[in-house]
Amino acid sequence: MQRSQIEWTDATWNPVTGCTQISPGCGHCYAKTFAERFRGVPGHPYERGFDLQLRPERLDQPLRWKKPRTIFVNSMSDLFHEEVPDDYVHEVFEVMAAASQHRFQVLTKRAERLAELAPSLPWPEHVWMGVSVESQHWTSRIEHLRETSAAIKFLSCEPLLGPLELDLEGIDWVIVGGESGPGARPMQPDWARGVRDRCVEVAVPFFFKQWGAHDREGRRVGKKRAGRTLDDKLWIEKPQMHTFV
């Protein structure tokens, strides 16, 4: 298990690592930046950098973690990447189904493949499914998410790269965040407010993760100084939680 610095989860589990860029939200991928630092380092888990790799030796990890926790699945990859075999996706879901002491959060940008595989996957209530929506162009991913039988369906609007008009029917949670790290693109306050106001209007829990590298005025001040409050409020709402067993 790797304890996570991500504000909306407790830990990460990476039965797959590595990925390829698919949309503008990938432009400054923190996972790629991290992994590529170790390319060519003999014996390091990321000796091959951000090349996609299956990690079957990690499949049973959640079954061995006895203390219940919320787990972000594949923080260093995308489970629905086209190079991940269907059978392997099923294995990951079978492990999640068996490890009911935990709560799993799966997030993808490859919503079309998600919709294709969803009918054959187990969907216990402790497995949450989300899609990334960084701009209006990618709201089509939400339609594919609705096709799944996930008990909790969520959106990650991070990095938020433009204003969004969202139909939140069937959506249980929305996360918004600005971009951090080298080359980060600033997030306009009204973009975040627009998503928040829509969530408040239809009573969908809203979680504001961070401003990112830039503050409300667009000044690059760093993630810590920019903070996490939106209009002087900390928005950390979450959907009704699965009860750990």
pLDDT digits (tens, 9 = 90+) for 74-99: 999 999 999 999 999 999 999 999 99
Residue 199 has pLDDT above 60, yes or no: yes
- Hey, what amino acid is at 153? K
Residue 2 has pLDDT above 80, yes or no: no
Which position has the token pair 């492990």? 95
Please state the φ and ψ torsions of residue 208, each to the nearest 5 degrees: -95, 110
Cα–Cα distances (Å) from 144 to 35, 39, 114, 201, in that order, read: 30, 35, 7, 23
All domains of the chain, ordered by start, with CATH? 2-14+69-234 (3.80.30)
pLDDT digits (tens, 9 = 90+) for 15-39: 999 999 999 999 999 899 999 999 9
What whole-number distance in Å separates Cα of residue 196 and Cα of residue 157?
11
- Report the 10 Å Cβ neighbour count for 154: 24
The candidate with the shortest Cα–Cα distance to 14, out of 65, 61, 66, 63, is: 61
Work out the widest C-alpha separation in the chain, in whole angstroms.
Answer: 53
User: Is it true that the peptide bond before 189 is cis, omega within 30 degrees of 0?
Assistant: no
Res. 115 pLDDT band, cuts 50 70 90 = very high
The pLDDT score that the predictor gives to residue 181 is 84
User: Average pLDDT, stretch 102-122?
Assistant: 98
Residues 6+ apart with CB under 8 A from 30: 180, 181
Residue 194 has pLDDT above 90, yes or no: yes
Residue 196 has pLDDT above 90, yes or no: yes
**pTM across the whole model:** 0.95
